[in-house]
Amino acid sequence: MRLNEIRKDNPLIICMTNDVVKNFTANGLLALGASPAMAEAKEEMDAFLSVAGALLINIGSLHPSRVEDMREAVKYANKHQVPVVLDPVASGASSFRKEFCLNLLNDFDISVIRGNASELLALLEETTMKGTDSRTDLNNVEIAKRAHEIFGSAIVITGEVDTIVQDNRVALVKNGTSLLTKVTGGGCLLGAVVASFVYNKVKPTLEDLTEALAAYTVASEFACKLPNGTLPGHFAVHLIDQLYEITEDDIVANQRVEEV
């Protein structure tokens, strides 16, 4: 399994992410056992990515001034064979976001796309979103399969049941809690966790991705059970603590995973 490897190797994860979630993301990765760096300047991407384990591109705070920095980061990640995780936050909310993601997917190799069903659907069709909200009437498995076929990347769609597609195999992860939607950055941190679990693997396996989702969602369930864990503020702190304490045995004993 990968969790113990992360804690042994302490991989450097470059996180170009949402301004709102940088602190939460960094603390989550430190608790997990990875080494986060919120480097953003294109002038230093070659140096950082020559030693990094993975790169996260999260477009939550996308701005024209960041477009070239992100593209340069992905270029150097490809150069150094560093896996790239793309989180297309609210990709259906504006043509600016959607076009940036589609151009990135067309021009570079992206190892994993992680988003909700509405975000992935927006990359596949002419559809719109209200901010980051995801529709609940979508067939996540079919959307994930289509995205995997079109983009060639591993696909992770998160929701009440998380859907993973890689190498034309499909896994469902049925752990988690709705409190992850009540904390700013719950999904964004997951993108960084996924990046940690696929470090040094440009082509991650379905098992790598399933372990990442299971580790995060099982930790979220443990967090809910702690004192005041059903309150969003306490839950956010408990989640960081549980990412620090969770073990591979905890994941194996508590994951509810089905390959379909």
Using one digit for the tens of pLDDT, what is the confidence trace for 42-90?
Answer: 999 999 999 999 999 999 999 999 999 999 999 999 999 999 999 999 9
- Going by pLDDT thresholds of 50, 70 and 90, the confidence category of residue 136 is low
CB 120 within 8 A of CB 87: no
- The domains of the chain are located at 3-259
pLDDT at 75: 98
Give the distance from CA 149 to its chain's centroid.
19
Predicted model pTM? 0.94
CA neighbor of 217 nearest in space, from 162, 260, 166, 164: 162
| Per-residue CA distances from 139 to 86, 117, 136 (Å) | 21, 8, 9
CA neighbor of 32 nearest in space, from 14, 11, 53: 11
Q: What is the CATH number of domain 3-259?
A: 3.40.1190.20
pLDDT at 125: 87
Using one digit for the tens of pLDDT, what is the confidence trace for 112-121?
Answer: 999 999 999 9
Q: In the numeric block, which tokens belong to residue 60?
A: 């939550």
Using one digit for the tens of pLDDT, what is the confidence trace for 178-212?
Answer: 999 999 999 999 999 999 999 999 999 999 999 99
